[in-house]
Chains A and B, each alone.
Chain A
Amino acid sequence: MSQRTRTTKTLAKRIDLQYFARPHPFRRWRLWLSVGVPLIALGWVVGQRAEGGQKAYSSGPLAHSHAVFTQQCGLCHVARTGAFFAHVSDQACLTCHDAPVHQPEQTFTPQCSSCHVEHQGAIRLAATSDASCMQCHANLRTRDGQPHYAASIGGFDRQHPEFSVLAPGRTDPGRIKLNHYVHLQPNLMGPNNTRVEMSCDDCHRATGSGETWPYASTELHSAALKLTSQDLNQRGSKAPMVPPAFAWHCAACHTLQFDNRFGNAQVPHDKPEVVHAFLIKQFGEYIAAHPAAVHEVEASNRELPERARIPRVARNASEWVEFRVEDAEHLLWLKTCKQCHTLNFTGGPLPEVAKSSITARWLPHAEFDHQAHRAMACTACHTRAPNSRDTADILVPSIQICQQCHREQGPMKESAEGRCFECHQYHDWSKAKRTKGRFSIPELRGTARLRMPKN
């Protein structure tokens, strides 16, 4: 049995009563670390500052387009002289991007940075969140109190109206008589009396595809090529479809012969005045070369609509030209041209051809990229096209077809992008003004001090 005694007194005698006044390794370590670690942290901050950049304070990497300016915070964070704050103002953005206003009737203009949020990493700054748009479009108000668009939109697959072109009662304003059903039939009469079966992309392709058109004219007339380069290039990043044009899409099958004497020669696909002049010239040259033809009796074997077959004998060359031009125009106006065009005979010598009014952009406030949808068959979306017999049919797909793939959550939900920016642009860049650059490369890269504007 142990004889050791552990009374309070004996235990107390063991203790050095001044122990707390002497340093102990544990407390010493705690003190040194408590001083050292914050000092290291402070040193890191000072070191970063001494390196010249303020990158350490960045709340995140810049977007692709701005990443090159990462070291030059002052480019966007403009601090006025003597001021402490250096928030990003719209003015800083407008220095490089003269972004036009969205709508003159808008009651609220958000700050650039509220929609285009920087320091979010390598994102596309134009890919704004739907909530930015919903600020106004969830409950749209305008200065004149008359919203011209849907007043309440909640997102693409929640509360987005049907495309306005598909509103009840709307028809295709085009005046070219086109029967899609017929054109998509097999065994169609094609160029040079061959049999063909047409497909959608024989006539409908995105601009810039660079391929030849299978039914284009072999001799493209310059007038036909006035094809609206302006139309083709508008909002060019998302290639629109090439608007149908006779020279490119019709000419091979719909030939414009006007008289057997000239073989396969065709009149230009142009205004009646041009066609008329062309005919006079052609027949004038012919009779000059064949003066005996004046007295030949015209044995017409052509089916001229709405005209009796009365052979006419000219008394002289000019009368002969007049008769032949009249015959040719009768064929053209009442058969060849009329097959596709609406001609108005308003009493003048020549008819007026109604404007074709082909709609180049069916969704004027949205963009659609056919090229991005190339994996799909045309009729997967344009479901009504194969059976459309009437020019007035609008063949734009319904929004429900788009919603089968496009969802607001987009790739997060194994869907295609469905946020507003995918189809709509906030700024009307066609109204953008040119900005004047004023920075040097070292200034932009942050290797030189930024010169502040004098104003």
Chain B
Amino acid sequence: MLIDQTHRKWFLGSVVGLALATVVYVPYSLNSPQGPKGSSVLGLIYGSVGFAFMLFAGLLGLRKKFPVWRVGRAQTWMRGHLWLGLVSFPLILFHGGFHFGTQLTRVLMWLFVFVFASGLLGAALQHFIPRIHTAQLPMETIYEQIDRVRGQLAQEATRLVDQCCATLEGEVSGASERQRAVAASAGANWDVTVASGLQADEPTSNELRQFLLTEMLPYLEKAGPRGVRLGTAAQAQAMFRHLRVLLPPNLHSQVDDLENICLEKRQLDKQNRLHRILHGWLLVHIPLSYAVLLLGAWHAVVAIRF
């Protein structure tokens, strides 16, 4: 989510709320006989408000599950999640007087620290990474479809190489007008064969197939660039330059296509990587958030009882 001018009201509201909470906390902390405690009236207020904000932030998941619910715009919920979740952390610190307590409260606070930190990281990632996507990945696709698209790229590359090989192996359909004319004259000139007329070049064809089988397909079929030369742009460029030298000019456009396929694969790999960064923090943030809400509710019950 881009944090821009549209967040201004939320930002100002959060700053004012936090400033107010701090202004109340400082004299409360200084004048409390035994220091600020969660069980004091103000401590309970901080705890209750902080937990209410946490609950609201946690409800974002529910809101996403039911997008048709008429309970405010998803964007508003997202902003509320971001800013109220941010403010909830200092409020909970005020609640506990900056002490983590023992056992249950300590576990709770450390979980909350991880939730808060992962949330901050997530907000920063969500702010910056989409720009990288837009600028550097024009060939991006739907993340869940990357594997499928990769398969299609492999098929496309195979098809292109088949075409090139057919041409190289003397298939008339793949020859140019001039080659066809030369091939047609085979027999009239004793040293010209049909194959030579079509400039058939079986060794090159074999080499191209070999390139497909050993370099391109392994690269396209597997996710990631690990251990494959085509995964590196510079090495890929060098390899395709070599192919262009090897193949006749009429096949260069196919080589360009093959290179483009590899470029798309590299972008998909990068998209995959960025997606994991962009959403991977959620694997920490969401489960720990649920644990915090659960233990927080239990802590409230126990604290009220004792």
B-binding residues in A (CB < 8 A): 1-4, 6, 11, 14-16, 19-20, 22, 24, 26, 29-30, 33-34, 36-38, 40-42, 44-45, 48, 55-61, 73, 77, 84-87, 114-115, 117, 119-120, 128-129, 131-132, 134-135
Contact B260 A44 (CB under 8 A): no
Contacts of A22 in B (CB 8 A): 144
Complex CA gap A6/B264 in Å reads 11
Task: Judge whether B125 is part of the interface by a CB distance below 8 angstroms.
Answer: no
Contacts of A77 in B (CB 8 A): 306
Contact A59 B101 (CB under 8 A): yes
Contact B304 A85 (CB under 8 A): yes
Complex CA gap A61/B99 in Å reads 13
Complex CA gap A55/B152 in Å reads 59
Contacts of A55 in B (CB 8 A): 103
Contact B257 A2 (CB under 8 A): yes
Contacts of A33 in B (CB 8 A): 283, 286-287
The prevalent SS among residues of A at the interface is: helix
Task: Judge whether B261 is part of the interface by a CB distance below 8 angstroms.
Answer: yes
Given A14-B141, A16-B148, A59-B101, answer yes or no on A3-B256 (Cβ-Cβ < 8 Å).
Answer: yes
Closest to A73 in B: B306
Task: Judge whether B34 is part of the interface by a CB distance below 8 angstroms.
Answer: yes
Q: B277-294, CB under 8 A of A: which get 1 and which 0? A: 001001100111011011
Contact A131 B259 (CB under 8 A): no
Q: How many residues of B contact A (CB 8 A)?
A: 51
Interface members, chain B 71-111 (any A CB < 8 Å): 99, 101-105, 107, 111
Contact B306 A86 (CB under 8 A): yes
Within the complex, what minimum Cβ distance (angstroms) separates A74 from chain B? 10
Contact B288 A3 (CB under 8 A): no
Contact A2 B260 (CB under 8 A): yes
Contact B305 A34 (CB under 8 A): no
Contact A120 B287 (CB under 8 A): no
Contacts of B20 in A (CB 8 A): none
Contact A4 B260 (CB under 8 A): yes
Contact B104 A30 (CB under 8 A): no
Task: Judge whether B33 is part of the interface by a CB distance below 8 angstroms.
Answer: yes
* A37 in complex: contacting residue of B37, B102, B290, CB < 8 Å: B290
Complex CA gap A36/B291 in Å reads 9
Contact A4 B139 (CB under 8 A): no
* A3 in complex: contacting residue of B141, B144, B257, B293, CB < 8 Å: B257
Closest to B293 in A: A38
**A-B pairs with the 9 shortest C-beta distances?**
A37-B287, A131-B33, A33-B287, A41-B291, A117-B34, A2-B256, A2-B260, A56-B103, A38-B290
A-binding residues in B (CB < 8 A): 31-35, 37-38, 99, 101-105, 107, 111, 139, 141-145, 148-149, 152, 156, 253-254, 256-257, 259-261, 276, 279, 282-283, 286-288, 290-291, 293-295, 298-299, 302-306
Complex CA gap A27/B293 in Å reads 21
- Subset of 22 A-B contacts with CB under 8 Å: A2-B256, A2-B259, A3-B253, A3-B256, A4-B261, A11-B141, A15-B141, A19-B148, A20-B144, A26-B143, A30-B283, A36-B287, A37-B291, A41-B107, A41-B111, A56-B104, A57-B299, A58-B102, A119-B102, A128-B33, A129-B34, A135-B33
* A6 in complex: contacting residue of B103, B139, B287, CB < 8 Å: B139
Complex CA gap A29/B283 in Å reads 7
Contact B105 A42 (CB under 8 A): no
Complex CA gap A6/B139 in Å reads 9
Contacts of A14 in B (CB 8 A): 141, 145, 148-149, 152
Closest to B38 in A: A59
Given A2-B256, A19-B144, A36-B287, answer yes or no on A132-B103 (Cβ-Cβ < 8 Å).
Answer: no
Closest to A34 in B: B287
Complex CA gap A22/B145 in Å reads 11
Contact B105 A59 (CB under 8 A): yes
Contact B305 A59 (CB under 8 A): no
Within the complex, what minimum Cβ distance (angstroms) separates B298 from chain A? 6
Contacts of A38 in B (CB 8 A): 287, 290-291, 293-294
Complex CA gap A58/B100 in Å reads 12
Complex CA gap A22/B31 in Å reads 59
Closest to A85 in B: B305
Contacts of A4 in B (CB 8 A): 156, 257, 260-261
Closest to A110 in B: B33
Given A4-B257, A60-B101, answer yes or no on A131-B32 (Cβ-Cβ < 8 Å).
Answer: yes
Contact B103 A57 (CB under 8 A): yes
* B294 in complex: contacting residue of A41, A59, A128, CB < 8 Å: A41
Contact A87 B306 (CB under 8 A): yes
Contacts of A129 in B (CB 8 A): 33-35
Beyond A22-B144, A85-B304, 16 extra complex contacts between A and B, CB < 8 Å? A3-B257, A4-B257, A15-B142, A24-B144, A30-B282, A34-B290, A36-B287, A37-B291, A48-B103, A57-B103, A59-B102, A59-B303, A84-B305, A115-B33, A119-B102, A131-B32
Contacts of A119 in B (CB 8 A): 102
Closest to A11 in B: B141
Complex CA gap A44/B261 in Å reads 51
Contacts of B144 in A (CB 8 A): 19-20, 22, 24
Contacts of B32 in A (CB 8 A): 131
Given A19-B142, A42-B294, answer yes or no on A34-B253 (Cβ-Cβ < 8 Å).
Answer: no
Contacts of B142 in A (CB 8 A): 15, 19
Q: Which of A19, A38, A59 has the most CB of B within 10 A?
A: A59
Contacts of B148 in A (CB 8 A): 14-16, 19
Closest to B104 in A: A56
Contact B34 A120 (CB under 8 A): yes
Contacts of A36 in B (CB 8 A): 287
Contacts of A24 in B (CB 8 A): 144
Closest to A132 in B: B33
Contact A1 B253 (CB under 8 A): yes
